[in-house]
């Protein structure tokens, strides 16, 4: 079972990405995924790798108050301004996915869009364990991964697992793998996959293949 890691060249970094995305709003897919969650009834959602806070509004609209976490200061500053200017119930804070500053069993929904495939394997394993720890029993998680055959794997240089920088957010590391590998990795953390959906889309360069896993903490 093959898994591929890439690393983007020097011209790309998360602070640059955050500046570019400062005013962009939620994609249709994000809106759909947020509305697929059981309504929040003013419980907490955790947006892991919240970036510039694009998901805050759709999560609020489905009844969630949001804690956003991201390790990039530029992203936190932009997402804090977005929350303030748009009067959103959202509180972005600095943290990494593998060490969540959140109480056990306190979160009803986790939204991790565009984030988990940017972690090293060690960080991903810890992040999934953290996701299980902070979720309420019965809580849901939407976890986004990239398929092995997604064309974007050609964008970065392929690297060996030993060459992945730690922490991986220092660079833009991206992992591509098969559905079986994703499923097995999630299963190992003790979270139950309820369903997985592959969304495909054609760019000029090729096919984008995004996996969305809707998961639940059963016990």
Ligand X SMILES: C[S@@+](CC[C@H](N)C(=O)[O-])C[C@H]1O[C@@H](n2cnc3c(N)ncnc32)[C@H](O)[C@@H]1O
**Interface residue list for ligand X (CB under 6 A):** 14, 48-51, 54, 70-72, 75, 96-97, 113-115, 118-119, 123, 167, 169
Burial class (CB in 10 A: 0-12, 13-18, 19+), 154: exposed
Burial class (CB in 10 A: 0-12, 13-18, 19+), 100: buried
Question: Taking the complex as a whole, how short is the minimal distance between the CB of residue 54 and ligand X, in angstroms?
Answer: 4
Rounded to 10 degrees, the C-alpha dihedral 120/122/123/124 comes to 80
Query: Which positions ≥6 away from 178 have C-beta within 8 Å?
Result: 1, 2, 3, 147, 148
- CA neighbor of 145 nearest in space, from 172, 122, 169, 115: 115
Question: Taking the complex as a whole, how short is the minimal distance between the CB of residue 219 and ligand X, in angstroms?
Answer: 26
Coil vs helix vs strand at 174: strand
In this structure, what are the phi and psi dihedrals at residue 6, rounded to the nearest 5 degrees?
-125, 160
Nearer to ligand X, 166 or 198 (CB): 166
Helix axes 121-134, 179-188, angle to 10 degrees: 50
In this structure, what are the phi and psi dihedrals at residue 120, rounded to the nearest 5 degrees?
-70, 160
Q: Which two tokens stand for residue 108?
A: 């009803």
């Amino acid at each position: 079972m093959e898994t591929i890691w890439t690393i983007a060249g020097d011209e790309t970094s998360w602070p640059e990405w955050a500046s570019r995305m400062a005013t962009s709003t939620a994609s249709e897919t994000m809106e759909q995924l947020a509305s697929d969650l059981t309504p929040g009834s003013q419980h907490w959602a955790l947006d892991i790798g919240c970036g510039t806070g694009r998901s805050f509004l759709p999560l609020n609209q489905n009844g969630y108050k949001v804690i956003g976490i991201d390790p990039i200061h530029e992203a936190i500053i932009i997402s804090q301004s977005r929350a303030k200017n748009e009067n959103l119930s959202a509180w972005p804070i600095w943290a990494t996915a593998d060490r969540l500053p959140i109480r056990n069993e306190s979160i009803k929904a986790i939204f991790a869009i565009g984030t988990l495939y940017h972690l090293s394997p060690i960080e991903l394993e810890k992040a999934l364990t953290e996701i299980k720890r902070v979720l309420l029993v019965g809580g849901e998680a939407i976890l986004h991964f990239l398929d092995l055959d997604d064309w974007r794997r050609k964008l970065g240089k392929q690297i060996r697992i030993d060459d992945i920088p730690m922490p991986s957010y220092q660079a833009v590391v991206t992992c591509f793998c098969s559905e079986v590998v994703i499923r097995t990795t999630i299963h190992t953390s003790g979270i139950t996959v309820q369903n997985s959906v592959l969304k495909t889309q054609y760019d000029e360069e090729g096919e984008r293949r995004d996996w969305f896993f809707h998961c639940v903490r059963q016990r």
